[in-house]
């Protein structure tokens, strides 16, 4: 398959920096995730609600549509389990809300991925929700490059090298047969979110190609370009739509440190683009 990039090549060409990661702060560029509320116990029906506020405390309501939605909300327990990617709606009072029931106890991180119109760039704000109940940890202690969810088998190929653009290819099959009828979801055949194990630094990478570009096929392969800011283990979650159903499929990979040659080549690419460090994310 001849993978084509969907216009994010300039981002992938610049080196990622550990000092410029997203999803580690409740406030960024004058925008704050405020008033976060959620069900207090596992199994308790309710809603997640919050407000985005500016430096004056006023609600931020003017946002840009990104990947078919005004805001993407990621909820995941701090051990990497119980991942969900959902889309709250903005109310007339400036509050974002979505019905939600936690299916497990423990500390959950919430990431609000949004592009305020006043900034013109995507920011990712985060906070933590403590969910009461009997806690059963599910630590990710080994790499996972083959994953099965509801009859879909997905294999991951490619290697992450810290600070270097790395191609990751996911191949989707069912009962041993290639899946060639993936459906567009949020403007793409797949979305990949990566969290660095430990601090859950947030990287939102993009597929190479998009539906309708005349090149990208609806499976069985979905290719991404990703930049891991540091060596270490990363928790990956692939969202895709097949048969009218959206599924989140988990993986775990370890990024290796770059060799001297790779580091020099990466620095040269960054210099050629005149780009500063960034987190390789959803812009």
DSSP string for residues in 68-100:
TBSEEEEEEETTS-S-EEE--EE-TTSEEEEEE
Of 131, 153, 173, the position where a domain reaches its end is: 131
Mean pLDDT of 198-224: 92
In a domain, 245, yes or no: yes
Q: What pLDDT score does 207 carry?
A: 83
In a domain, 279, yes or no: no
CATH of the domain at 243: 2.60.40.1930
pLDDT tens profile 247-283: 999 999 999 999 876 655 555 555 554 433 333 334 3
Same domain, 239 and 118: no
pLDDT band at 17 (very low <50, low <70, confident <90, very high): very low
Same domain, 192 and 76: no
Q: What pLDDT score does 216 carry?
A: 96
Q: What pLDDT score does 104 carry?
A: 98
Q: What pLDDT score does 118 carry?
A: 95
In a domain, 280, yes or no: no
Of 131, 162, 183, the position where a domain reaches its end is: 131
In a domain, 3, yes or no: no
Give the residue, 22 or 17, on which the prediction is more confident: 22
Mean pLDDT of the chain: 88
CB-based burial of residue 117 (10 Å sphere; 0-12 exposed, 13-18 middle, 19+ buried)? exposed
Q: Are 202 and 154 in contact (CB under 8 A)?
A: no
Dihedral pair phi/psi, residue 271, rounded to 5°: -65, -40
Q: Which structural domain range is residue 184 located in?
A: 9-17+140-270
Same domain, 127 and 195: no
CATH of the domain at 50: 2.60.40.10
Same domain, 91 and 179: no
In a domain, 215, yes or no: yes
3-state class (DSSP) for residue 271: helix
Instruction: State the distance between the two ends of the chain, measured CA to CA, in whole angstroms.
Output: 26
Phi-psi label, residue 243: left if phi above 0, alpha if psi -120 to 50, beta otherwise: left
Gap between the Cα atoms of 176 and 178, Å rounded: 7
Q: Where are the alpha helices (DSSP H) in 37-151?
A: none
pLDDT band at 132 (very low <50, low <70, confident <90, very high): very high
Same domain, 108 and 162: no
Same domain, 147 and 211: yes
Same domain, 109 and 145: no
Of 108, 131, 154, the position where a domain reaches its end is: 131
CB-based burial of residue 192 (10 Å sphere; 0-12 exposed, 13-18 middle, 19+ buried)? buried
DSSP state of 7: S
The count of structural domains within the chain is 2
Q: What pLDDT score does 12 carry?
A: 36
Q: What pLDDT score does 150 carry?
A: 96
Whole-model pTM? 0.86
Whether 2 has a pLDDT exceeding 90, the answer reads no
Same domain, 50 and 183: no
Mode of pairing for the β-strands spanning 166-174 and 221-226: antiparallel
In a domain, 276, yes or no: no
Q: What pLDDT score does 55 carry?
A: 95
Lowest mean pLDDT among 14-18, 135-139, 152-156: 14-18
Q: What pLDDT score does 13 carry?
A: 33
CA–CA distances in Å: residue 127 to residues 27, 36, 108, 109, 179: 10, 8, 9, 6, 37
Q: Are 90 and 61 in contact (CB under 8 A)?
A: yes
Mean pLDDT of 27-44: 98
Same domain, 105 and 211: no
Give the residue, 19 or 215, on which the prediction is more confident: 215
Q: Which two tokens stand for residue 91?
A: 């109310």
Tokens 């990363």 map to which residue? 234
List strands edge to edge, sheet with 27-28.
27-28, 31-37, 46-53, 95-100, 89-90
Same domain, 104 and 145: no
Other Cβ atoms less than 10 A from the Cβ of 265: the count is 13
Mean pLDDT of 150-178: 96
In a domain, 282, yes or no: no
Percent of the chain with pLDDT over 90: 81
In a domain, 101, yes or no: yes
Same domain, 209 and 71: no
Q: Are 4 and 215 in contact (CB under 8 A)?
A: yes
Same domain, 113 and 153: no
pLDDT tens profile 19-33: 468 899 999 999 999
pLDDT band at 206 (very low <50, low <70, confident <90, very high): confident
pLDDT tens profile 58-111: 999 999 999 899 999 999 999 999 999 999 999 999 999 999 999 999 999 999
Gap between the Cα atoms of 196 and 31, Å rounded: 23
């Amino acid at each position: 398959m001849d993978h084509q990039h969907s216009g994010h090549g300039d981002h992938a060409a610049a080196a990622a920096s550990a000092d410029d990661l997203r999803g580690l702060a409740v406030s960024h560029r004058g925008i704050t995730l405020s008033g976060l509320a959620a069900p207090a116990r596992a199994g308790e029906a309710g809603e997640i609600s919050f407000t985005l506020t500016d430096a004056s405390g006023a609600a931020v309501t003017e946002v840009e549509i990104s990947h078919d939605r005004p805001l993407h909300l990621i909820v995941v327990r701090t051990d990497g389990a119980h991942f969900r990617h959902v889309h709250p709606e903005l109310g007339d009072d400036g509050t974002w809300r979505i019905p939600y029931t936690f299916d497990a106890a423990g500390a959950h991180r919430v990431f609000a991925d949004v592009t305020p119109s006043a900034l013109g760039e995507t920011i990712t704000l985060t906070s933590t929700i403590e969910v009461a109940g009997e806690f059963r940890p599910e630590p990710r202690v080994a790499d996972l490059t083959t994953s099965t969810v509801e009859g879909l088998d997905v294999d991951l190929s490619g290697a992450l090298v810290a600070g270097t653009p790395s191609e990751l290819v996911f191949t989707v099959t069912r009962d041993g047969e290639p899946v060639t009828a993936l459906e567009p979801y949020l403007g793409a055949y797949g979305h990949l979110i990566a969290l660095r194990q430990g601090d859950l630094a947030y990287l939102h990478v993009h597929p190479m190609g998009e539906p309708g570009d005349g090149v990208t096929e609806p499976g069985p392969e979905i290719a991404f370009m990703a930049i891991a800011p540091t060596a270490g283990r990363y928790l990956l979650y692939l969202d895709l739509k097949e048969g009218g159903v959206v599924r989140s499929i988990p993986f775990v990979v370890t990024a290796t440190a770059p060799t001297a040659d790779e580091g020099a080549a990466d620095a040269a690419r960054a210099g050629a683009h005149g780009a500063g460090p960034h987190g390789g994310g959803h812009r």
